[in-house]
Amino acid sequence: MEKIDNYVPRSLEDYNRLYNESITNPESFWEKIASTFTWKKKWKNVLSFDFKKPEFKWFEGGKLNISENCLDRHLIDKPNQTAILFEPNDPNEKHQEISYKELHQRVCRFSNVLKKNNIEKGDRVCLYMPMVPELAIAVLACSRIGAVHSVVFAGFSSTALAARINDADCKMLVTADGSFRGSKTIDLKSIADEALASCPSVEVSIVLKRINSNIELNDIDKWWHDEISLASNECEATGIDSEDPLFILYTSGSTGKPKGMVHSCGGYMVYSEYSFKNVFQYNKGDVYWCTADIGWITGHSYIVYGPLLSGATTVMFEGVPSFPDFGRFWEICEKHSITHFYTAPTAIRALAKHPKSFVSKYDLNSLKVLGTVGEPINEEAWNWYNEVVGKKSCPIVDTWWQTETGGIMISSIAGVTDQKPTFATKPMIGIQPVLLDNDGQEISDSNTNGILAIKYPWPSIARTIYGDRERYKKVYFTAYPGYYFPGDGAFRDDDENYRITGRVDDVVIVSGHNLGTAPIEDAINLHENVVESALVGFPHDVKGNALYAFVILKDDSKTENINTEINDLISKTIGPIAKPDKVQIVPGLPKTRSGKIMRRILRKIACGEKNNFGDISTLLNPEIVELIVKGY
């Protein structure tokens, strides 16, 4: 059997050769990659797809288990190698190094806990947990028995948690008594209890003791440590169909409720390992650290699955970059001789505002590759990252992808393809991006802007939106038939490098998180004195984008505490990450005669523009624009 490394480019010549192979004969190419994994039953058909339905099936008829490929197959040659290196929030708390052998045993034990509590293949399990090893263990345990995991970021409110539990009809919740975040302690259990009050599908809740609080358990609660103590450390991996769901992960929509993206087992497995090894050029002995949370797709693909499928050492970090000071990232890099460091532009911009001594006091000579994820990185931040952290000797991979894509789609390959500040650069091997005009026609010119689209399926494309296939079709495949439409615009230069220019729908990326405007507006509108609201993004030197809310009140005289009250509503309904930086009280909103808010005008106002709004003759109320600009 060939190794996957044989299909990882080590030179530009390799990249060009493999890319051409992946485009001219994609089924043969991906079949070779898939053959490097452990399968319980080989597939009958590599790929069948129909963009019109839409429907995508990879390695159909094959049976596998992704946890077996993450763990069992590495027990032969690297049982004692560190799989997960856990760095806790408190630097005085001892870190953990969990070997592949130990991780395998702990995953098996929790798999047996799931089975003991009547979780079966296909059941949905919600995970609302801190960034501790037990979260990764629970993810892998679900996949081992064929349960579908739905990880909810532990910064979300009880309302947001309940919505996700109910949408997926989850049978179990796995949570913790609390979590640490910098100098704060978060009472996760109270949030979970409040959510479960409106979640009739949940039959049992497993609670991890993380902060050692003295809490009383409810009737459906069971302590993690009690359940684990009775469980065997042997559990055979269940054979799962390649197209069976592996997980559901929710991402914000431009309208309506969050979208539960469904990823399948076989294709996601193949692409997450392949893209990890491609982009980061991981080699034996390297120590890789992605600072994301497993509650986001980055954590799924590039903290848990991609690295563990590759037999890598992956770091999990519970804390924040500013605690106990702004040198925490670099202290950890020195402490563990980190070779690969992958973080968000938001974090880079925040750290760049502080003295360089927070970086220079640490030995970062172990670093070989730097990466960014979540949003396009601006040139100033890129240069700081390159010069201050990388000492101009570490390639920077600026990765573009989405929850829906499952894996990195456009990025330079570390040390192999050229990097260019603010550009994601080249498509991944096997990915076929195009630029479209407004009529859906492909643009062949260079040095031009267009609508980004993908014209051929890849293994880790999300298969559907849970419970709403029609929405899946409408959002991603209807606007430009025959293509996957990610909602982003892009610029392509003379060398066929791509730079992502921003969203073309009503989703704002704040600190790397996709936030749909509609759910936040709904939360604002719950205020008893609010008539209507509109939310847009505006540039922010740390977050990349921040949120600006335009709000119409019933009684303009009652504005004293309106900002605080609105932010409290949003925190309770969605979570603190969705709070707007600015709230402006306005007499009305610029609307077309059909009632649609002309958001481009609001975006310009949010950015400080006072004129040059273009044609506003189609507005029902053009006079409202001047009133908003004047500050009402």
pLDDT, one tens digit per residue, over 270-322 is 999 999 999 999 999 999 999 999 999 999 999 999 999 999 999 999 999 99
More confident residue, 7 or 594: 7
Average pLDDT estimate for 24-50: 97
Q: Which helix (H) or strand (E) holds 289?
A: strand 287-290
pLDDT at 370 over 60: yes
Query: Is residue 254 scored above 50 in pLDDT?
Result: no
For the segment 424-440, what is each residue's pLDDT rounded down to a tens digit?
A: 999 999 999 999 988 89
Q: What is the mean pLDDT of residues 463-487?
A: 95
Residue 632 pLDDT greater than 70, yes or no: no
Domains contained in the chain, number: 2
Compute the average pLDDT of residues 604-614.
84
Mean pLDDT of 377-393: 94
Task: Give the residue, 449 or 410, on which the prediction is more confident.
Answer: 410
pLDDT exceeds cutoff 50 at 510 = yes
Distance CA 208, CA 10 (A): 43
* For residue 338, pLDDT beyond 90: yes
The partner residues of 601 in beta bridges, in order of sequence, read none
Q: How many residues does the chain have?
A: 632
Nearest CA to 159 out of 522, 438, 450 is that of: 522
Of the candidate ranges 180-189, 316-325, 373-382, 615-624, the one whose mean pLDDT is the lowest: 615-624
Q: What is the CATH number of the domain that holds 520?
A: 3.30.300.30
Checking if the pLDDT of 594 tops 60, the result is no
Say whether pLDDT at 66 is over 60: yes
- Give the burial class of 322: count Cβ atoms within 10 A of its Cβ; 0-12 exposed, 13-18 middle, 19 or more buried: middle
Q: Nearest-CA neighbor of 288 among 268, 267, 317? A: 317
606 found inside a domain:
yes
- In this structure, is residue 9 part of a structural domain? yes
Q: Which domain holds residue 609?
A: 507-629
Report pLDDT for 593: 60
| Average pLDDT of the residues of the chain | 93
- By percentage, how much of the chain surpasses pLDDT 70? 97
Q: Is the pLDDT of residue 164 over 80?
A: yes
Query: pLDDT value at position 631?
Result: 78
Q: Which of 135, 79, 81, 87 is nearest to 336 (CA)?
A: 87
The answer as to whether 122 is a domain residue is no
Q: Is the pLDDT of residue 172 over 80?
A: yes
| 617 domain residue, yes or no | yes
348 lies in a domain?
A: no
- What does the pLDDT average to over 532-559? 87
- Asked if the structure places residue 533 within a domain, the reply is yes
Residue 528, domain member (yes or no): yes
Q: Check if the beta carbon of residue 411 is closer than 8 Å to that of residue 397.
A: yes
227 lies in a domain?
no
Sequence-separated (6 or more) residues with CB below 8 Å from residue 325: 358
What distance in Å separates the CA atoms of residue 183 and residue 605, rounded to the nearest whole number?
37
For residue 255, name the pLDDT band (cuts at 50, 70, 90). very low
pLDDT range class, residue 618, cuts 50, 70, 90: low
